[in-house]
Amino acid sequence: MKKKTIGFILVVSLVIFSSFSFGQDLLIKNGTILTVTKGKILKGDILIIKGIIKQIEENIKGPKGIKIIDASGKFVIPGIIDSHTHIALSGTNENAEAITAEVKMRDVLNAEDRSIYTAISGGVTMVHTMHGSSNPIGGENIVIKTKWGKTSEEMIVHDAYRTLKFALGENPKRSNSPTLGTPRYPQSRMGVNAIIRREFLKAKNYMEQWDRYLKAKNSKKPAKNLIAPRKDLRMEQLADVLRGKMVARCHTYRA
């Protein structure tokens, strides 16, 4: 069997895990492999070459000198994906304003956060780490692989869907409590709904301005005095949601 996969995690101690690095050749032997799609393999082996699973079956003979993990009495499972986390970030909420679509979690990704090590030790190999829920519209989230010891850039899954954090109900209301300082709009569910609607209408208008400008610019006889609309990073993000280039990831309490 040849396949590129998210990864299998051997249920072993942190001491054993920490002695291996990413992208190397390994042979896991005699483990109980839970494949999910093809049932259970008792006393199965997994051959990994340069970090990619090349073979899963019984009695595999790997290349000479390959590192071997004896998984007798242990289980091997596919890497777990956590779709909603806040790990590996040096900041999760931008509380100064209600709408902060322009901020990006990749800018505060912390490769030295020990929660990455904790996650991988528990079998979590990929996470969707997100902006917090203090804002009706927060920032752009990020998908990373939990590659402890690698740089932030090496952890990022660059071809993952882009997602933007939204939050409804209790969190954006409670986070704006006067006990936290000067009250910030919105303070109610109707306010949360209204401000999200308002921002999308602004984004739609922003898109229309750019569409008119580009149409005029690309016409056969463009006017000499054409001026491009002002670039707005916040509106660019929301426009990408409307264009289907970014997914709205919404935290809700009631449906």
- 82-115 per-position pLDDT tens digit: 999 999 999 999 988 999 999 999 999 999 999 9
Choose the final residue of a domain: 52, 78, 104: 78
- The verdict on 22 and 99 lying in the same domain is no
More confident residue, 64 or 201: 201
| 71 and 147, same domain (yes or no) | no
Q: Please, which residues bridge with residue 163 across strands?
A: 247
pLDDT at position 179, please? 58
∠ CA 13-32-59, rounded to 5°:
110
| C-alpha of 49 from chain center | 26
Kindly report the average pLDDT of the chain as a whole number: 89
pLDDT at residue 74, as a whole number: 93
Q: For residues 138 and 132, is the Cβ–Cβ distance under 8 A?
A: yes
Residue 168: domain span: 79-255
| Model confidence, pTM | 0.83
Among 69, 88, 90, residue whose Cα is nearest residue 145:
88
Residue reference for tokens 């054409």: 226
What distance in Å separates the CA atoms of residue 122 and residue 72, rounded to the nearest whole number?
A: 19
